[in-house]
Amino acid sequence: MLKRLTALAVMLLGLLLTPSDAQAYAWSVNHGYTTCASCHADPSGGGLVTEYGRAQGEIFIRTPWEERGSEWEPGKAADFAFGAVDLPEWLITGATIRGGAARLDTPSTDPSVFPIVMQADLRAQVTVGKVRAYGSLGALPTGSAEEARVLRNDTVNLYSREHWLGVDVTGDLVVRAGRMALPYGNRILEHNAWARTSTRTDINADQQDGINAHYGKGDWRAEVMGIAGNLQLSPAGYRERGYSGLVEYSIGPKLVVGASSLLTVAELDIQTLDQRTRQAHGLQVRSSPVHGLAILGEGHLLVDSSNGSAPSLGSTGWIQADYEIFQGLHVAAAGEWLQQEVGTSLGGWGSATWFFAPKTDLRVDYIHRQNATSSGRTPSHMVLGQLHFSL
């Protein structure tokens, strides 16, 4: 039992210590943004923001302290490096750092506060005609971002979460090849939510290599990716191959419903070290029923099979209510579950985020989980504070 609890604590710490990506604000549906492509280089959101996205950071994300008359524009606060560097039109770039401190409390660990540097990334996209080249590069202490590591020494991991080449075939269709986040579910910032970790579809470190096509037109959006595996993992037997995809429909300006599906096969699963087939199939919704409130929900069926055995069924889900008290200040409550053979784990999140200055936000989370074990549920409590700044 103690061994299991220790493993659980280590796993939770690991989730916290790995970097998290920035700028994936699915609650933007509250502002009428049902899709992400106008603000992000990745058409499904997350990661590098476009010039348009930078402007939105000033327009409706951060708290406005200044008078905004009819002549107001975002100005240099929205520009890269606050306008200190003029970028050519063919280049968009950004740098982001996220750090803070966390306290984890489980039955098997002594509560302690530890510092975290979650993110230190540079990102850029070069566009030549219809061709885009995108890449990110980061550096964190050795042991972090292992799945995305490209180089390391005794103290530092150099990692790249995303790097791809894309072609804007039309204004509605982009085809990409390289390493990128999987299209699945809602692209939420909470990368260690069970809906993300159990499907391996977070925007933190679950990116894979493959070929991806994204189509968005009118009220419809669809994305599918043929997964060739995480080529930064070796040997090749660890790599998952399969597909991941989603389709979404906007029912009006503040309601999006969608379905997602994923199937991967690995000769040697990185967690179980078995031949493993993973499937996830589910539904997601983003809505803003009243001004200021965004509801993000998703539920997924999990199908897992190892070494050709009969598949085991499970499920996971996440529902979050985000309320913007005034522009820039968000409070959110979320519930989640993860049903596996061992039992059903339950979790609750309370979060507050304040975008109080240009390109800067402060976030505090409290996460309580009842983690299923063979002997019942084991509680864990986590408090996480983080400061996020980007250029």
Partner 1 sequence: MTSRALIVSTLLLIPSLAFGAWNLEGKSKITFHADGPAGFAIDGSSKEFSVSETPESMVFSVPVTAVTTGIELRDEHMHNYAEAESFPTVTLTIPKDQLTFPAEGQKKSAGIAQGTFNMHGVDKPAKVKYAMKAEKVGVSWVAAFSFNTEAHGIVVPDYMGVTVDPAMSAQAKFTTVPAE
Contact string (CB under 8 A) for partner 1, positions 264-303, x = contact: ----------------------------------------
Is 341 a binder of partner 1 (CB under 8 A)?
A: no
Contact residues for 194 (Cβ-Cβ < 8 A; gap 6+): 316, 318, 336, 337, 338, 345, 347
Strand pairing class (91-105; 376-390):
antiparallel
DSSP-derived letter for residue 205 is S
In the complex, least distance from residue 233 CB atom to partner 1, rounded to whole angstroms: 31
Distance CA 374, CA 343 (A): 7
Residue 382 has, within 13 A of its CA and on its CB side, a CA count of 28
Is 214 a binder of partner 1 (CB under 8 A)?
A: yes
- Binding-site member from 1, 7, 10, 38 for partner 1 (CB under 8 A): 38
Is 88 a binder of partner 1 (CB under 8 A)?
A: no
Whether residue 352 contacts residue 360, with contact meaning beta carbons closer than 8 Å, is answered with no
- Binding-site member from 23, 35, 160, 353 for partner 1 (CB under 8 A): 35
Distance CA 208, CA 192 (A): 17
Whether residue 20 contacts residue 119, with contact meaning beta carbons closer than 8 Å, is answered with yes
Distance CA 159, CA 110 (A): 31
In the complex, least distance from residue 237 CB atom to partner 1, rounded to whole angstroms: 37
- Please identify, using beta-carbon distances, which residue of 49 and 332 lies nearer to partner 1: 49
Distance CA 96, CA 100 (A): 14
- Please identify, using beta-carbon distances, which residue of 176 and 278 lies nearer to partner 1: 176
Whether residue 202 contacts residue 196, with contact meaning beta carbons closer than 8 Å, is answered with yes
Is 132 a binder of partner 1 (CB under 8 A)?
A: no
The residue whose two tokens read 């800067």 is 360
Is 106 a binder of partner 1 (CB under 8 A)?
A: no
Whether residue 383 contacts residue 364, with contact meaning beta carbons closer than 8 Å, is answered with yes
Is 83 a binder of partner 1 (CB under 8 A)?
A: no
- Binding-site member from 253, 289, 311, 348 for partner 1 (CB under 8 A): 253
- Please identify, using beta-carbon distances, which residue of 45 and 317 lies nearer to partner 1: 45
Among 15-23, 113-121, 217-225, 338-346, the segment contacting partner 1 (CB under 8 A) = 217-225
Contacts with partner 1 by CB under 8 A lie at 31-32, 34-35, 37-38, 43, 50-52, 54-56, 59-60, 68, 70, 72-74, 171-172, 174, 214, 216-221, 250, 252-253
